[in-house]
Amino acid sequence: MEYSFEKHKIFGAIEADDQYWRSLEDGEFKLPRCSACKKWTWPAHYRCGSCGAWEFDWVAVEPKGFVFAWTRSQYAFDRVMERKSQIPYVTVVTEIPAAGGARVMGVLKGDDQHLHTGQAVRGTIDVPSEASKWYPSIRWEVIREESRREHRR
Amino acid sequence: VTPFRGSTAVVGIGQTPYYKRGTSPEPELKLALRAITAAAEDAGIDVRDINGFISYASERSDPAKLMPALGTREVKFASLVWFHGGGLPATLNIAACAILAGQADIVAIYRSMAERSSQRLRVIVAQNDTSPQYLVNGLESPAQILALRAQRLMQHHGVPRSALYATVAASYHHAKNNPRAYGRSVQMSPEVYDQARLISEPYRLFDCSRENDGAACVLVVSSERARHLRQKPAYILSAPMGTMEGGGALEENWRPYYATAGQKELADRMWKESGYTANDVDVAQIYMNMDSMGIGSMIDHGFFAMEDAGAFCTFDNLIAPSGKLPINTSGGDLGEGFIHGMGLLPEAVRQIRGTSTNQVPNAKLSLVTGGPGDLMSSTALLGAQETL
């Protein structure tokens, strides 16, 4: 299978996350965990900074977590002009306890009123589209019944 | 005490006017030449004798292009500090190290920007190095990415909006007295602030730094040489750079710090090397790409605890001449203008000289912080002769 994101490849940053996008495009949410010491590494990298191993297992994770941070974009920014018609849209950073607290970004789906850090969210996968630069993407949606009380620091 | 502490000083400052982004009548390289020659003139140094050149981020006016027009006799040292505005005070570190190691004598630190010359936002600021994790999800600008951190600072840690406003009000108050300030005519009020357009929540327009064309330069020499020059030296007491474990290119995965500036260890090293504490600082130029990030810097530097941000950050506390911690006395990145933070360095020096348009009387310790939340950052403490 030819992957959409590979045909629209964005270069920049560490560039070790191809398997993340490939999995998403296959309909699976996977994150990398060190094959040796089992520590989660996110964003993906080439070597485990904890034990020094070079191999990672891409492990299927249930896309559930808590809102760690979010912003509602109100302006059409230069390099994400594809989202212009969606303004205002909300991007969420979700903390995923099942993956060592990895924080994964995604555009919010559904009700964005009263959004707050600590709220429980569930992810679904969107197929590649122009808005997501022809990459697949995870979308977070608030689960009303659950939320986490976080301690202020 | 390290050999670094107090062995070099800033002896010259030069700045072009600030222009609205994309409207500079002169190209970037020419602005750099103007700032460097102005700094040499200010110091009473022959511009041809400058033999070290340092900038940060993705500066385009490199020494190779500058030297024919400056009449440079010899370039002995040239370097660029990695990353974005986080590199600003670290330029002092590199300059001092080069001088201490005998590799250069007179070092120019400078930054020049003019959008027409260099596609500023896409190339010069972002360096075409943004992860698809952001771009796919509608995020590209520092305003949006730092808005995530601001949301965390406000919703999770409980820092109130009033603290953000106080930094804005203080910046524009100072800008009014500064004829160079691009935002000097803005009449800031809670209404003006609250009614400004939303950019990326929680940020509205005035929470964000300006975007300007312009250039600025400071000259660094050994303290010994500094004593024989025309201006009162601003000694470099400490200017550490770095990132702690749990930081770096981790996108939104910084731990344990996220909502502040990632400068706590840096600041701790600076206090240790300089022998001073936050309580001793007379005046501070706090880098504000966004206002909440500057609040994070002040927390990391120990000026107040997270839970006291609302009580500490009031207009009265943040203004010259007699606030508890006068900040951004030229107007800073919000009110004066923004050429990647470079305007903060000359203002920190003017406070030591006693020549700021919002002078803190008898200022002896002058702080300048680097880009908060940058992948790597830095901070610097400048001092008058008495602080050595």
**Lowest-pLDDT choice from A19-23, A76-80, B75-79, B262-266:** A76-80
Are B216 and B15 a contacting pair, CB within 8 Å? Answer: yes
- Render pLDDT for A65-91 as a digit per residue (tens, 0 to 9): 999 999 999 999 989 999 999 999 999
ipTM, two decimals: 0.96
pLDDT, average across residues B101-122 = 84
Contact (CB<8Å) B136/A135: yes
Q: Among B334, B342, B241, B346, which Cα is nearest to B289's? A: B334
More confident: A13 or B152: B152
| Backbone angles phi and psi of B37, in degrees to 5 | -65, -35
**pLDDT in the model for residue A123:** 98
3-class SS of residue B149: helix
CA dist B58 and B38 (Å) reads 22
What is the structure's pLDDT at B128? 72
Whether A135 has its CB under 8 Å from any CB of chain B: the answer is: yes
- Which candidate from A10, A68, A89 shows the least CB-CB separation from B132? A10
Q: How far does the CA of residue A105 sit from the closest CA of chain B (Å)?
A: 7
Residue B120 binned pLDDT confidence (cut-offs 50, 70, 90): low
In this prediction, residue A13 has a pLDDT band, given cuts at 50, 70 and 90, of confident
- What is the pLDDT at residue B184? 97
A151 reaches B (C-beta below 8 A): no
Tell me which residue of B342, B292, B338 sits closest to B92, measured CA to CA: B342
Query: Å from A52 to nearest chain B CA?
Result: 16
Contact A62, A78 (CB under 8 A): no
Interval B283-292 mean pLDDT: 97
Backbone angles phi, psi at B318, to 5 degrees: -105, 0
Percentage of chain B exceeding pLDDT 70 = 97
* Percent with pLDDT over 70 in chain A: 94
Question: Helices then strands (H, E): number in chain B?
Answer: 15, 13
d(CA B228, CA B298): 35
What was the pLDDT predicted at A21? 98
Q: What is the 3-state secondary structure (H, E, C) of B284-349?
A: EECCCCEHHHHHHHHHHCCCCCHHHHHHHCCHHHHCCCCCCCCECCCCHHHHCCCCCCCCHHHHHH
Angle, CA A135 vertex, CA A132 and CA A141 arms, to 5° = 60
A117 vs B156: CB contact, 8 Å cut-off? Answer: yes
**B200 contacts on A by Cβ (under 8 Å):** 71-75
Token pair of A66 as six digits: 């808590």
3-state DSSP: chain A helix, strand, coil percent, rounded to 5?
Answer: 15, 35, 50
Q: Between B121, B122, B151, which is nearest A69 by CB?
A: B151
- pLDDT higher than threshold 90 for residue B262: yes
Nearest chain A alpha carbon to B128: A12
User: Which tens digits make up the pLDDT trace of A102-134?
Assistant: 999 999 999 999 999 999 999 999 999 999 999
pLDDT over threshold 70, residue B79: yes
Examine the pLDDT at B125 and tell me if it is beyond 70. no
Looking at residue B129, its pLDDT comes to: 83
Say how many C-beta atoms besides its own lie within 10 A of residue B49's C-beta.
14
Q: How many CB pairs under 8 A join A and B?
A: 136
Residues B49-63 have a mean pLDDT of 96
pLDDT, residue B115, reads 81
Residues of A in contact with B198 (CB under 8 A): 72, 74-75, 88
Residue B289 and residue B277 in contact, taking contact as beta carbons nearer than 8 Å: no
A27 in contact with chain B, both atoms CB, cutoff 8 A: no
pLDDT higher than threshold 80 for residue A9: yes
- Per-residue pLDDT for B121 more than 90? no
Average pLDDT of every residue of chain A? 94
Test mutation, A23, A80, A94, chain B, max B CBs within 10 A: A80
Q: Residues B345-370: what's their mean pLDDT?
A: 98
- The reported pLDDT for the residue numbered B118 is 54
Question: Quick one: pLDDT band at residue A153, thresholds 50, 70, 90?
Answer: very low
Cα separation, A120 vs A29, whole angstroms: 17
B 93-122 near A (Cβ less than 8 A): 121-122
Residue B119 predicted with pLDDT over 50: yes
